[in-house]
Amino acid sequence: MKIKAKKHDGTTSVARTDREIQELKQKYESMPLENEIKKFVDMPLSQKTLKGLLDSKYVVPTEIQRKSILTALKGKDVMGTAITGSGKTLAFLIPVIEHLYLNKWSRTDGVCAIVISPTRELAYQIFETLKRIGRYHDFSAGLIIGGKNLKFERSRMDQCNILICTPGRLLQHMDENPLFNATTIEMLVLDEADRCLDMGFEESINAIVEHFPTDRQTLLFSATQTNSVKDIARLNLLDPIFIGEKSKSEDIIPELLQQNYVVMELEDKITMLWSFIKNHLKQKIIVFFSSCKQVKYIFEIFCKLRPGTSLLALYGTLHQDRRIAIYNDFTRKSNVVLFATDIASRGLDFPTVNWVVQMDCPEDAVQYIHRAGRTARNKARGESLLVLTPSEEQGMIKELEDKNIHIKKIHIDPKKLFSPRLKIEAALAQNTELKASAQRAFVSYIKSIFLMKNKKVFNVFKLNLENYAKSLGLIVTPRVRFLERLLKKKGSEAEIVNESNDFVHEDSDNDDDFLKVKRVDHDLCNNLDDVTLELPKKNKILTKAAAAKKAIRKKIAPNEKMNFDDDGNVIIDNIKQLRSELPEEYENKDGGINIEIAKKVISQEDKYDKERFRQLVKQRHKLQKEKLKKHTDENLQSNSAESESEDDVDLSWLPDPDKIYDSNRKADETEMSLSGDDDSEEPSSKKAKFTSKLTLSDAESIAAQLLANTV
């Protein structure tokens, strides 16, 4: 009975799914108009999707969702632009889920949709949203980002129906993973499309798109526009539908975002930031800097000074797991300050951020919009503060106004500023690592300014480096070697400024490799998404193998050691001359190593080596024998001399030795027989002095000597 019920249930569920799919397809043919849609339930969406949306408290679609979901469900290509925080993620995730559902995609069918995001954090965030709204569906999804276990991803990738990836990592899998089959892909989504399509990811995206079928559906979303015509051609978009307006400022800046800027000298920025944090202890704040090293240093020093609120830091050189942990930590907390580089500027949706502070002037208006857009999301209030130096003010404000971004200048009450300078100096005096970190931050900021494109805004020679160093707690201004070298080479500041136009900043520990092409082409690097390609070649370390190869290539004969005698003639070592002919022949040949010949050479040389060793052993034995013979001859001579002297002396008056030594005779004989074969090098007379049992002849010779002395 139970089994029957199960079977019965299963059959109905399949039938119900089929029926729902049929109904949805019919609805697609007569899509409701945009203004008829008040809630998600008014859209032709599957029950499972609607349930997922409802669970996540998404009831009323935002404008971009209303427009683009309906268009995308019809299978059209979409280029969607809407202000930051307006809900673009759901605008593409819902059509993706529905496409899989309507086409009855199952786990065994392979990858159907790929969503590409320029940063790992954003990919992670999209993946989390997908998990929430797609929880009632049976598809599988995978997060493919750099810094994660490549092997694990590789083994699971072909079982995923939806992949959320960063471009570099996706390309790596496409190139190296035989399990990955791109021909099944029916949908491609680029989130932050303008960033994905700019020169940093250009080649990666081109290479990725090449693998995909051309009849796929493509959805592009961003808060800022792409170079549309060129990109449409690159991505093979087919009559794309443009959604979103581009000209008015209210279309790119959230309504409830209050935008301010303040002008101050570079050396006052730290004081301002410290005071700002102290005055906003109960708020959630993101502070943007232009380089990892600045973020790292400010985070370290402010942690030491304990401002009285939680501090976090997010930058690209952190380990991926740490990055995700910090992301989650900041999402969860409400009174917290996050110091970040621009990896946090695009797409990240941190709830209820009160303030965005841009400590370093953004590269351009687009970067300004994305940074500022981390607050005032989805019709919430938020404030942004841009900090400019006097030399940056005019150029940057003009650039923003050109994009219809109107921003209010404010002045900070000097009474509200508390300088942490003395505390910072004291902390640096005690901690050399912190001091080194400050020096790195100093240099990386100078580099960032030097490499910025817009020279009307950024001019490194207008900075007061000495005062800036002091504001970081550095008594001595660090040397900026690359500037010194360039000044020496070029002669004038103006020329240097022009030269730096083609490059932008990237962190580096080494002053020598600071010039890097803006935003590396990611297919060239293995799995990272924010690495840069170096232009000048580094001084290569010359390995022994490389030196040997060079010598062979240039036909340089290696040196040979020669020994000379006192007359200046070469000493020829006969043993060393023993060599087989094969190696000589082999050495004279050009070209690489032939393993087979090399083996033969080794075995031949081995024979000669053994022969050489045998001869050496023979020589040694011969020498030992000669030495022994010489020694025995000497002993014999001394014994015969003794016996001659015995004959000359009259010993008849002495007592009979046989009687005296009779008792010991046996032992003496034994002793003699043992020592008789002894080939030790000590003369027997000397040895007798040290033994208590003397031989007969020794005892007699001693007695004779004693007698001679007494006479």
Ligand X SMILES: Nc1ncnc2c1ncn2[C@@H]1O[C@H](COP(=O)(O)OP(=O)(O)OP(=O)(O)O)[C@@H](O)[C@H]1O
Residues near ligand X (CB under 6 A) are 58, 60-62, 65, 82, 84-90, 223, 347, 349, 373, 377-378
CB of 82 to ligand X, least distance (A): 6
Residue placing its CB nearer to ligand X in the complex, 89 or 459: 89
Residue placing its CB nearer to ligand X in the complex, 60 or 410: 60
Backbone φ and ψ for 431, nearest 5 degrees, come out as -130, 105
* Residue 605 token pair: 């040389």
Distance CA 99, CA 105 (A): 9
Residue placing its CB nearer to ligand X in the complex, 66 or 293: 66
Distance CA 168, CA 351 (A): 28
Element (H, E) at 119: none
CB of 320 to ligand X, least distance (A): 20
- Contact call for residues 321 and 302 (beta carbons, < 8 A): no
Element (H, E) at 163: strand 162-165
Residue placing its CB nearer to ligand X in the complex, 377 or 519: 377
Whether the CA torsion 387, 459, 404, 410 is positive or negative: it is positive
DSSP tag of 570: B
Kindly list the distances between the CA atom of residue 510 and the CA atoms of 473, 481, 538, 567, 706, in Å, as whole numbers in the listed order: 22, 10, 11, 56, 89
Residue placing its CB nearer to ligand X in the complex, 375 or 527: 375
Kindly list the distances between the CA atom of residue 41 and the CA atoms of 50, 89, 251, in Å, as whole numbers in the listed order: 7, 18, 27
Residue placing its CB nearer to ligand X in the complex, 128 or 329: 128
CB of 53 to ligand X, least distance (A): 8
The pairing of strands 533-534 and 516-517 is: antiparallel
Backbone φ and ψ for 484, nearest 5 degrees, come out as -60, -45
Distance CA 585, CA 588 (A): 5
Residue placing its CB nearer to ligand X in the complex, 223 or 313: 223
CB of 382 to ligand X, least distance (A): 12
- Contact call for residues 651 and 645 (beta carbons, < 8 A): no
Distance CA 150, CA 604 (A): 48
The full length of the chain comes to: 711
Residue placing its CB nearer to ligand X in the complex, 87 or 473: 87
CB of 356 to ligand X, least distance (A): 12
Residue placing its CB nearer to ligand X in the complex, 46 or 309: 46
DSSP tag of 515: -
CB of 321 to ligand X, least distance (A): 23
Backbone φ and ψ for 217, nearest 5 degrees, come out as -95, 140
CB of 116 to ligand X, least distance (A): 14
| Closest listed residue to residue 226, CA positions, set 368, 366, 396, 118 | 366
Residue placing its CB nearer to ligand X in the complex, 68 or 389: 68
Strand partners, 504: 516
Distance CA 480, CA 444 (A): 10
CB of 69 to ligand X, least distance (A): 10
Residue placing its CB nearer to ligand X in the complex, 169 or 377: 377
CB of 61 to ligand X, least distance (A): 5
CB of 251 to ligand X, least distance (A): 12
CB of 272 to ligand X, least distance (A): 26
Distance CA 561, CA 551 (A): 18
Distance CA 371, CA 128 (A): 22
- Contact call for residues 524 and 199 (beta carbons, < 8 A): no
Residue placing its CB nearer to ligand X in the complex, 60 or 649: 60
Distance CA 330, CA 318 (A): 16
Sheet holding 336-340, edge to edge: 310-314, 336-340, 284-288, 355-358, 382-388, 257-263, 408-409
The pairing of strands 113-116 and 187-191 is: parallel
Residue placing its CB nearer to ligand X in the complex, 63 or 605: 63
CB of 225 to ligand X, least distance (A): 12
- Give the rounded distance of the alpha carbon of 275 from its chain centre: 35
* Residue 676 token pair: 């008789």
CB of 58 to ligand X, least distance (A): 4
User: How many CA atoms are closer than 13 Å to the CA of 137, on its beta-carbon side?
Assistant: 30
Q: Minimal CB distance to ligand X: which residue?
A: 87
CB of 353 to ligand X, least distance (A): 11
Residue placing its CB nearer to ligand X in the complex, 346 or 440: 346
Residue placing its CB nearer to ligand X in the complex, 58 or 458: 58
DSSP tag of 504: B
Residue placing its CB nearer to ligand X in the complex, 63 or 609: 63
CB of 57 to ligand X, least distance (A): 7
Helix (H/G/I), strand (E/B), else coil: 533: strand
CB of 127 to ligand X, least distance (A): 13
Distance CA 442, CA 434 (A): 12
Q: At what angle do helices 292-305 and 421-430 cross, to 10 degrees?
A: 100
* Residue 436 token pair: 């080194």
Sequence-distant (≥ 6) Cβ neighbours of residue 497 within 8 angstroms: 455, 459, 460, 461
